[in-house]
Amino acid sequence: MNEIIRLLKSHRSIRKFTNQPIDEELLLEMIRAGQCAATSSFLQGTTVIRVKNPKHRKKIAVLAGNQQYVETAAEFLMFCADLKRSGDCCEMHGKTVAEGFTEHFIIATVDAALMAQNVVIAAESEGLGICYIGGIRNNPAEICKLLNIPKNVYPVFGLCIGYPAQNPETKPRLPVSVVLKNEVYEDMDDLNIIAMYDEHVREYYRTRTGGKKELCWSEQMAELLGKESRPHMRAFLREQGFEMK
């Protein structure tokens, strides 16, 4: 296993950070490394908003469901899927933008994720820790208002980055056989394999919380999929110009 694969496999979210700031040039290098990720049709459909203002950080922390590390991380980056920039180019060349296609939504969202993951790897390669903040989608309209995010742009997730003040274990992942299929999608044995994995996850929580938490993976999924999830997203996206037609 080479050093880079070792780094990728050592990822865990960091939620406690030291006060050490991130060198300005390093931050820019991380962003540039992010930009070098693949981009669909050369769209480069990501805009990153770097939020330093402590009042805004505090508001975002609350809007994201009281995630305090949004305030305490050295850097907080809001990753936005951006179809405004490309749309403006379209108009500059005298063409009308074909707005609201689901496909455009997908390519911009995937672009944002690919770029972010490169930023994450760059950060972790320098000993920094990160935590993705999907919680910003709890209140996406308020986030847009706070950060002046215009139509045809939407905040996909936030990213906390800083020097770690904790050293948690990595979280056990599903067995490869569940995730990687040969030739066709086939999941006949998966629930049996997941039952074994469940015990693994239960043990992870047990040792990590001193016996207080014993949830297994399939229970977490039942929790996640068994209830409606951010039901405002559809209306928010429509309002924001993502019609999903």
Question: Does position 231 bind a copy of itself by CB under 8 A?
Answer: yes
* CB 11, min distance to a copy of itself, A: 5
**Which of residues 184 and 196 has its CB atom nearest to a copy of itself in the complex?**
184
Stretch that binds a copy of itself, among 15-23, 61-69, 161-169, 189-197 (CB under 8 A): 189-197
Residue 187 near a copy of itself by CB under 8 A: yes
Task: Tell whether residue 43 is a contact of a copy of itself (CB under 8 A).
Answer: yes
Q: Quick check: 74 binds a copy of itself (CB under 8 A)?
A: no
167 binds a copy of itself (CB under 8 A): no
Rule CB under 8 A: say whether 14 interacts with a copy of itself. no
Q: How far is CA 27 from CA 80, 128, 129, 184, in A?
A: 18, 11, 13, 42
Please check whether residue 29 is in contact with residue 23, taking contact to mean a CB–CB distance below 8 angstroms: no
Residue 203, CA distances (Å) to 41, 54, 120, 171, 192 in order: 44, 38, 28, 11, 18
Given the rule CB under 8 A, which of 7-15, 65-73, 160-168, 206-214 is the region that contacts a copy of itself? 7-15
Angle between helices 217-225 and 190-208 (to 10 degrees): 100
Residue 37 is a binding residue for a copy of itself (CB under 8 A): yes
Q: Which is nearer to a copy of itself, 18 or 134 (CB)?
A: 134
C-alpha 140/C-alpha 147 separation (Å) is 11
Q: Which of 58, 208, 213, 234 binds a copy of itself (CB under 8 A)?
A: 234
- Burial category of 133 from C-beta neighbours within 10 Å (exposed 0-12, middle 13-18, buried 19 and up): buried
Which are the contacts of 15, defined by CB distance < 8 A and separation ≥ 6?
67, 69, 131, 160, 166
Token pair recorded at residue 221: 């999924």
Q: Exactly one of 19, 92, 169, 188 binds a copy of itself (CB under 8 A); which one?
A: 92
Q: Which of 62, 90, 141, 165 binds a copy of itself (CB under 8 A)?
A: 90
Residue 244 found at the interface with a copy of itself (CB under 8 A): yes
196 binds a copy of itself (CB under 8 A): no
Distance CA 12, CA 230 (A): 25
